[in-house]
Structure 1
């Protein structure tokens, strides 16, 4: 169960970093120019909300004293994966959290 929670926290951290990334004009034009510009205003609060949710998940995975350290590790993993995906596969970077969440849910139901 904790492996699935860790993966959920990692997906939330990645999605939160992606939300903060999309709040910037440069990355919005690169990744989401097909969407309406009004959505860009929602990206920053949504990104912070997702990062907060990933912290709450980290508290479920690790003991309370260790959770912030593990959360920073999840932020680092999510951020570096986003950093490596943006130049090479920008569309994959945008849709990865939406694809990974149902896969994680299916693995949780099966296991």
Structure 2
């Protein structure tokens, strides 16, 4: 299993869940009040695209039958992490996808 692809898939699924979350008015006011409201309309399509990207990355990691199960597991895990971070550390919730993208080259196998 390629750990860097797994890290990128987790980051994409978390970012997709975060974008879907930012598509709602409540979380937009909580997390991105300073951003222009016209960006909120782009959050839901971006979230769907990021979740599809995570599915494509999981297809690169596992065979097709396991990839769907792994992808659903990643969605569940990322949704739980987002659910726990939003009330207590909302700014960390916004920056977490960048951390995954920055850590992916660390896991590159020679």
Question: For this pair of structures, how many residues does the alignment match?
Answer: 110
Q: Which runs of 4+ in 1 moved over 4 A?
A: 108-111
RMSD: 1.5
Contact 2:85 2:93 in 1 (8 A): yes
Contact 2:3 2:107 in 1 (8 A): no
User: Distance in 2 between the 1:34 and 1:101 partners?
Assistant: 24
3-state SS of the aligned residue for 1:34?
A: coil
Q: TM-score, normalised by structure 1?
A: 0.92
Q: TM-score, normalised by structure 2?
A: 0.93
Gaps of 5+ in 2: none
User: Distance in 2 between the 1:61 and 1:109 partners?
Assistant: 13
CA offsets 1:14-62 (integer angstroms, 9 cap, x no match): 0000000000000000000010101101100000000000000010111
1:65 offset after TM fit, Å? Answer: 1.1
User: Distance in 1 between the 2:100 and 2:108 partners?
Assistant: 14
Q: Kindly indicate whether structure 1 or structure 2 has the higher relative contact order, using CA contacts under 8 Å at least 6 residues apart.
A: 2
